[in-house]
Structure 1
Amino acid sequence: MSNSDLSFRTLVTGADGFIGHHLVTEMAKRGLPANCATRRVKHLQGQRSIGVGDIGAHTDWSESLENCQAVVHLAGRAHVLNEEKSAHSAFEQVNAEATKSLVRQAAQRGIKRFLFVSTIAVFDPSLSRLDAQSATTPGTEYGRSKLLAEQYVRDASADMAHTILRVPLVYGPGVGARFLQLLKLASLPVPLPFG
């Protein structure tokens, strides 16, 4: 690895989430420096951790973006449980408005690369087969907020290359309890009420 490689620093938002944790761990193994944005400061594989609190339209990303040349934006909200806010406003605030704020601030700082992890929930849920031309007509507030965030990323800056990944449910070592519950249900010898 050359010295120029070591100076290339990436901001990873949601670094303490499932995908983020695996990404940051792999980056550390390869000697790739990262600024890790999380709700609270945490020890993350020797990488620089920055606590940003709950994210939204007014999040100040300046410390997180310090010395970075690229952004991997993983932070987001997938569920709304027992909260005062409506699902629409909760998803829009975290998934769309926080992304808009981050991508705007990244462009202002001259960041050249932005990778946004979206979801297959942006597609029409009635489709049985998906490709790059499939209709983006989300059936949930979550999907709508992620689709809006994608548009904010596309609109951010002509000088910033962007990549949008539309991922399905992700699982692997260290997967959360909800997925493990689904696996247990799937092993039951009874039909499940999923359509």
Structure 2
Amino acid sequence: MNGKIRVLVTGGNGFLGRAIVKALMIGRDFNVAALIRGAGFELDVPFFRIDEMDGLTSYLSILNDVDVIVHAAARNYVVSDKSVDPLAEYRRVNVEATVNLARQAAAVGVKRFVFISSIKVNGESTPLGKPFTATDVPHPEDFYAVSKLEAEQALLQISADSGMQVVIIRPPLVYGPGVKGNFASMMRIMAKGLPLPLGAVDNRRSLVGLDNLLSVIIRCIDHPVAAGRVFLVSDGEDLSTTQLLQRLAASGGYKTLLIPVPVWFLQLAARMLGKKDVAQRLLRSLQVDIEETCRLLEWRPVYSVNEGLAKIYK
């Protein structure tokens, strides 16, 4: 792509979308605009407000001057989804809205569609030392992951039919300044200095700092090898839950009391309390292999885990 690349970022006022916009504003090679929901946008870039993203929304007036879409908007994973039909809700946003946007983009000549998916498409856990790869057969285990896989499949078909390039990125847990959800909850607990029974967890989990993920996303906007591929991304260092909590506490300047309770007891207690999903994320391993991502994109993680955790508290 010659000249400045015109990029539209969806979900521009979300945790990841806002960070993508900020990163692209720094680079002189991009003209960036944001697609947002809500009343306003504090970043100094053009933005387009919509009330809803679904299978009927028209984007044609927005897409005429766009070269690349980075699609970060999504209905994110919720541990206890109270919707009457959760799968239908995930599909409405993550599949139907994505397909609708991609079809309109292809029709007006958008060159590339970068889709932010999830490692949950691969599955929920891995045997220790046997990480997920981009070529593994997908094994989604919840409605959110099913919807992300269905969106991936639909996008690849649109690409085959239209010639618009599609790039898929599957991050694991993303952390960074402004992080929300389970990671933010964990930070609040650490800040209170409450004892946690997680001092003997010897699993391994991949995670990705926001800046490392952003560097991969930016690389995928115009890297010639990226088209049609799936990329897994991480910080390149897998931590046990115990190690993560220790490093998080050190980064925040907190004292931590991690009690070494046997993992089998934690698993039993979680089942009895109906917290099996929470226990799985804390106790089991989930590792990703980023060797192919590094090789094909000529990329290495920009920051270490320690550096990434320290950025949260700045």
Shorter-chain TM-score category? 0.7 to 0.9
Alignment match, 2:36: 38
Alignment match, 1:137: 139
Preserved CA contact (<8 Å) 2:121 2:148: yes
Q: Percent identity?
A: 32
Preserved CA contact (<8 Å) 2:119 2:172: yes
Alignment match, 2:108: 109
* Cα distance between partner residues in 1 of 2:83 and 2:140: 24
Point out where structure 1 has 5 or more consecutive residues left out of the alignment: none
Q: Which amino acid counterpart does residue 21 of structure 1 have in structure 2?
A: R
Q: CA, structure 1 residues 177+137, in 2 after alignment: closer, same or farther (shift >3 Å)?
A: closer
Counterpart pick for 1:12 among 6, 9, 15: 9
Point out where structure 2 has 5 or more consecutive residues left out of the alignment: 191-244, 246-255, 271-278, 281-314
* Cα distance between partner residues in 1 of 2:49 and 2:257: 41
Structure 1 range deviating more: 26-35 or 68-77: 26-35
Structure 1 segment 84-163 matched on structure 2, within 5 A: 84-128=83-127, 129-158=131-160, 159-163=163-167
Higher-Rg structure is 2
* Cα distance between partner residues in 2 of 1:172 and 1:50: 26
* Cα distance between partner residues in 2 of 1:120 and 1:188: 31
Is the helix fraction higher in 1 or 2? Answer: 2
Classify the secondary structure of the residue corresponding to 1:16.
Answer: coil
Q: Per-residue CA shift, 1:140-164, capped at 9, x if unaligned?
A: 0000000000011101134211110
TM-score by length of 2: 0.56
Classify the secondary structure of the residue corresponding to 1:33.
Answer: strand
How many residues are paired up? Answer: 191
Q: Which amino acid counterpart does residue 71 of structure 1 have in structure 2?
A: I
Q: CA deviation at 1:63?
A: 3.0
Preserved CA contact (<8 Å) 1:124 1:135: no
Alignment match, 2:170: 166
Q: CA, structure 1 residues 109+78, in 2 after alignment: closer, same or farther (shift >3 Å)?
A: same
Q: Which amino acid counterpart does residue 75 of structure 1 have in structure 2?
A: A
Preserved CA contact (<8 Å) 1:41 1:50: no
